[in-house]
Amino acid sequence: MNYNLDHLSELESESIFIIREAFAQFENPCILFSGGKDSIVTTHLALKAFYPAKLPFPLVHIDTGHNFKETLDFRDALVKENGARLIVGSVQKSIDDGKVAEETGVNASRNKLQTTTLLDTIEEGQFDACLGGARRDEEKARAKERFFSHRDDFGQWDPKNQRPELWNILNGRKKMGENFRVFPISNWTEMDIWQYIKREQIALPSLYFAHERDVLERHGVLLGYDKNVHTLREGDKVEKRMIRFRTIGDISITGASESTADDLDKIIAEVAAARVTERSGRADDKRSDSAMEDRKKEGYF
Amino acid sequence: MDLLRFSTAGSVDDGKSTLIGRLLYDSKTIFEDQLESIEGASNKKGLDHVDLSLLTDGLRDEREQGITIDVAYRYFATPKRKFIIADTPGHIQYTRNMVTGASTSNLALILIDARKGILEQTKRHSFIASLLQIKHIIVCVNKMDLVDYGEETFEEIKAAYIDFASKLDVEDIRFIPISALKGDNVVDKGDKMDWYSGGSLLNTLEEIYISSDRNLIDCRFPVQNVIRPHSDEYHDYRGYAGRVESGVFKVGDEVMTLPTGFTSKIKTINCGKADVAEAFPPMSVCMTLEDDIDTSRGDMIVRVKNQPEATQDLDVMLCWLGDNKLVVGKKYIIRHTSNEARTIIKEIQYKVDINTLHRLKEDKNIAMNDISRVTLRTTKPLLVDSYKNNKSTGSFIIVDEGDFNTVAAGMII
Ligand SMILES: Nc1nc2c(ncn2[C@@H]2O[C@H](COP(=O)(O)OP(=O)(O)O)[C@@H](O)[C@H]2O)c(=O)[nH]1
């Protein structure tokens, strides 16, 4: 025995360690579940961390009302299979309550509105820590994110005022009203995620695999067309193409890419050869070079 | 494939961002959209080449100030290894970030500008790497293109560094002459420095044998959580969840739980649904014992004949990270493994001048970025080893009781 762990096992072990610390240090943690592969992997790791006990915290899903049906079906099946608790925060409700105003225009998106619903759901559920599937390699502003990321009592992130994290000692002490975001898979890359999904045979929504779908092309981004979400304007053309999604979020903004990768091996080969980052399919990051950082400061995870 | 974690440090303008940008670029970790975005930004700045350093400049504040202000983590992989870079800034006031980045690294990469040679900050970085017990240092002498790729310049810097490093505790130091801007000896060797017979930087990073930082002898398993399923199927299951920090635990091993001192045998070890026969660092597992023992978070499972020291008095090296100065006699929180206690700093022995490595016995004024040797007294015994023998049970952090910020990092002597 040489007692060496391969990189996936080492990352897995680190993530499980962090999830267990979150459970021990916080009174009422939850998992922010988006239905995307990163939050699915995070949930898988959390199940592993506490096995044979059940998942000791609920899944919180912020429903923009513009979700793919495949995502919702997948979410409900996962919850049922694991006897987990699900809490849904509704953006539609935030709109109906007058807390936020729906964006208008052809590029309208509910992505920004999510932040308010999320912060309200956190407050209502009195969650003092939200585990999320964000990774540092995803986006520039995330490269400095901590495992335990401190938020002030408005849920805001102050990049200059983060606690240093040394060795693997995590400090989740907080004052009343403050809370934490916890990022157990910070150190994973997109490739690690896919390799791990394959190794652990983790089920994913069918959206990730190549399939034929009606799409709409805008600013070079292919959107999965939904007549209830997208307002067509002149010149817009809806056509059937063979595509798959590299990330899954709100229908209005989640970009697809043309692909024939219909199984994990083909996806891994595609990721290895990919020349654009997965977030580039997201129209929300295109708003400006610092778009993500601005949303993070407001409390977006 | 295994994982190598390394930290980078250099003074401002030594070329660190350019070097990391090049490693990412040449290892094809940079995607087209990222490249487009930095090409745009380079144009805006009026540059005629693509400024690779922009790739690693994360936050807007930094971009505006044109400096890196915090530890940022970067990832790249080659077919041989996966790498995690803790990219730490080279500012005088940011020693704390360097300590943070170094705390999880197997290797430190130190940059020196060939025109400037060894600076105070070079010494500071090297000392911190040594203090944090990083066993491998790669010194990159950068901007060789600006000194005509001269062997003599390189050799002079190398000799001076070796002389200085004799005072440090580092096992393995290597030197590579590079040009981060032009790419010589970064990924490929290039044809400008035939006098240099070693490998390129990337090649060295891929091949270097990381004498394991892991201690496989002293069994230490700090309990993070107790797992009680409360289900019919696992009615009597009582598992101890944690990560093996050192040593190898096997099913059937006789173990002791501390501080209670009960002994028992390991009944099962599982990782999720999979049972395993043995667990070694850094595996996160769940263990059950033959006997029903009252053990909870903060306790430690060890071997009967190999125990850590249980003590309330600690002799430590301390890196101060907080905005407020250290106050002798004030109560702080100390976090060590999965345990927590309160502590007071009893006495400051000396402060280290990290440029000269001199001990300043009279200077008892400890502020952010200072490194000192102090004695602590805790409210309850902690289960400790020396940091040199065991990074996990030899390290701790100090937390302020008022705002709960992490104000210091400590290593037990
Ligand atoms: N000629 C030359 N210039 C370099 C080299 N490496 C970096 N530079 C330049 O030195 C300046 C500072 O580099 P940067 O990477 O921003 O330094 P940092 O502050 O250490 O991150 C920039 O103008 C770079 O283009 C090199 O190998 N040769």
- pLDDT score recorded for residue A104: 73
pLDDT score, position A299: 52
In three-state secondary structure terms, B325 is coil
In whole angstroms, give the CA distance from residue B23 to residue B43: 22
Residue B51 CB: number of other CB atoms within 10 A? 17
How many C-beta atoms lie closer than 10 Å to residue B273's C-beta? 9
Range B188-199 average pLDDT: 93
Residue-number span of the structural domain to which B345 is assigned: 309-412
Q: Which residues contact A235 (CB under 8 A, 6 or more apart)?
A: none
Which of B60, B93, B395 is best to mutate for the A interface (most A CBs within 10 A)? B60
Q: Are residues B298 and B314 in the same domain?
A: no
In our burial notation (b when 16+ CB lie closer than 10 A, e otherwise), range B11-26 reads beebbbbbbbbbbbbb
pLDDT of B84 over the 90 cut: yes
Does residue B206 sit in the same domain as residue B93?
yes
Start and end residues for every CATH 3.40.50.620 domain found in chain A? 7-192+290-298
- Same domain for B326 and B283, yes or no, is no
Token pair for A110: 């509910």
Domain A7-192+290-298, CATH: 3.40.50.620
Structural contact between residues A115 and A62, judged by C-beta atoms closer than 8 angstroms:
no
Close Cβ partners of B274 (under 8 Å, ≥ 6 residues apart): none
Judgement on whether residues B355 and B285 belong to the same structural domain of the protein: no
Atom number, ligand 1, closest to the C-alpha of residue B56? 21
- Please list, in sequence order, all residues whose beta carbon lies within 8 angstroms of the beta carbon of residue B223, skipping any fewer than 6 positions away: B240, B241, B242, B295, B296, B297, B298, B299, B300, B301, B338
Pairing of strands B331-336, B395-399: antiparallel
Confidence of residue A287 (pLDDT cuts 50, 70, 90): very low
Pair B344, B364 in one domain: yes
pLDDT tens digit sequence for B112-146: 999 999 988 888 889 999 999 999 999 999 999 99
Long-range CB contacts for residues A111-115, cutoff 8 Å, separation at least 24: A111/A64, A111/A249, A111/A250, A111/A252, A111/A253, A111/A284, A112/A284, A112/A295, A113/A64, A114/A62, A114/A64, A114/A250, A114/A300, A115/A295, A115/A298, A115/A299, A115/A300
pLDDT at A278 over 60: no
Q: Are residues B199 and B72 in the same domain?
A: yes
Residues framing ligand 1 (Cβ under 6 A):
B 10, 12-18, 53, 142-143, 145-146, 179-181
Q: Which of B157, B192, B212 is the last residue of a domain?
A: B212
Boundary-marking domain end, from B282, B303, B324? B303
**Contacting residues for B189 by C-beta, under 8 A, at least 6 apart:** B196, B199, B200
* B237 and B347 belong to one structural domain: no
- Measuring CA to CA, which residue among B304, B413, B228, B42 is closest to residue A54? B228
Q: How many domains does chain B have?
A: 3
**Each residue's pLDDT tens digit, A168-213:** 999 999 988 888 999 999 999 988 999 999 999 999 999 999 999 8
By the 8 A CB rule, do B324 and B315 touch?
Answer: no
The C-alpha atoms of residue B295 and residue B107 are separated, in whole angstroms, by 37
C-alpha of residue B21 to centroid of ligand 1, in Å:
11
Whether B187 has a pLDDT exceeding 80, the answer reads yes
Same domain, B11 and B83: yes
A273 CB neighbour count, 10 Å cutoff: 8
Is the preceding omega at residue B282 within 30 degrees of 0, hence cis? yes
pLDDT, averaged across chain A: 84
Model pLDDT for residues A101-118, shown as the tens digit of each residue: 777 766 667 777 788 888
Tell me, what amino acid is at B235?
A: H
The last residue of one of the domains, among B279, B303, B327, is B303
pTM here is: 0.90
Assess B255–A contact: CB distance below 8 Å, yes or no: no
Q: Are B82 and A10 in contact (CB under 8 A)?
A: no
The answer to whether residues B205 and B226 belong to one domain is no
Q: B61 and chain A: CB distance < 8 Å anywhere?
A: yes
Strand B309-320 with B371-384, pairing: antiparallel
B284 and B323 assigned to the same domain = no
Here the CATH number for the domain that contains residue B256 is 2.40.30.10
Q: What is the pLDDT averaged over residues B279-286?
A: 96
Residue in B181, B186, B201 to alter for ligand 1 test, most ligand atoms within 8 A of Cβ: B181
Clarify whether residues B206 and B94 are in a common domain.
yes
CATH code for the domain of B88? 3.40.50.300
**Candidate from A6, A141, A171 with C-beta closest to B335:** A171
Q: How many CB atoms lie within 10 A of CB A90?
A: 17
